[in-house]
Structure 1
């Protein structure tokens, strides 16, 4: 099932100066998030200031890569034709252990297996020569 993503010709992520450390870590199979040095809240998506206290003292730290499924959707008609060959696929919102919520592909056999609060963990997939963080069901 996972091999189907390897040869996709899909648009990659938009990397900015702010998000580059996240994507550089993903390429090394590391899951890093920003953390505010002032209020100690974890931050995702990458940004220039803390959404909690507005501090610009954000640092990058290794995060667990684990979380729980908040909700999901099964995509039957993708927004880009490059995803056609893996359609249908599931996209989910994962509430990370550190607090933020992240949207990502879910590596599952069937969407019938999905339930709210199901534990997931990050899994790195290479699509079109770019490593992306997908999520798979956590094994105990």
Structure 2
């Protein structure tokens, strides 16, 4: 059995598959290219949701884009240590409420834990489209991972 304690999970910039382009996701991609993370929130029931869609998955009401904090916590995760390079897939519960399937990057796999706070970081797909990923928040973050002021 492979040990994950010393497995470094890299950003894998430029190594992500290209997400499908659609008119519905265009505002999300445009904001992500500016470093902003958008969610949809229902104008009728007030619930935020992920994956962004024009109709609320809870009440079928209309939705509107809003800027999200990019903060969350790890709900569940698994490390694919045999993949080259290794990666971690996780469910992250966003500060705004929704839980999203994503990847954990720029960290040591052995340091990951359920309930751990994480912060959004955009990686690039093969064609340069921003892909939302998350990394653990911590005092030991390298300077290049510090949030912009």
Which residue of structure 2 aligns with residue 99 of structure 1? 97
**TM-fit CA distance, 1:21:** 1.5
Please list the CA deviations of residues 61-118 of structure 1 after superposition, one character each: whole Å capped at 9, or x if unmatched: 101111110111112466xxxxx4xx21111110001111111111143221111110
Is the CA contact (8 Å cut-off) linking 2:43 and 2:64 kept in structure 1? yes
Q: TM-score, normalised by structure 2?
A: 0.77
Q: Are residues 130 and 113 of structure 1, via their aligned partners in 2, closer, same or farther at CA, if it must alter by over 3 Å? A: same
Which residue of structure 2 aligns with residue 123 of structure 1? 121
In structure 2, runs of 5+ residues without a counterpart are 1-7, 140-149
**Cα RMSD (Å):** 2.1
Any runs of at least 4 consecutive aligned residues in structure 1 with deviations exceeding 3 A, and if so which? 1-4
Q: Are residues 17 and 27 of structure 1, via their aligned partners in 2, closer, same or farther at CA, if it must alter by over 3 Å? A: same
Please list the CA deviations of residues 28-73 of structure 1 after superposition, one character each: whole Å capped at 9, or x if unmatched: 1101100111111102101131011111x21101011111101111
Q: TM-score, normalised by structure 1?
A: 0.82
1:1-140 matches, within 5 Å, as 5-8=12-15, 10-55=16-61, 57-76=62-81, 84=84, 87-128=85-126, 129-139=128-138
Aligned-partner Cα distance in 2 for 1:73–1:3: 15
Q: Are residues 7 and 73 of structure 1, via their aligned partners in 2, closer, same or farther at CA, if it must alter by over 3 Å? A: same
Which residue of structure 1 aligns with residue 144 of structure 2? none
In structure 1, runs of 5+ residues without a counterpart are 79-83
Aligned-partner Cα distance in 2 for 1:127–1:111: 22
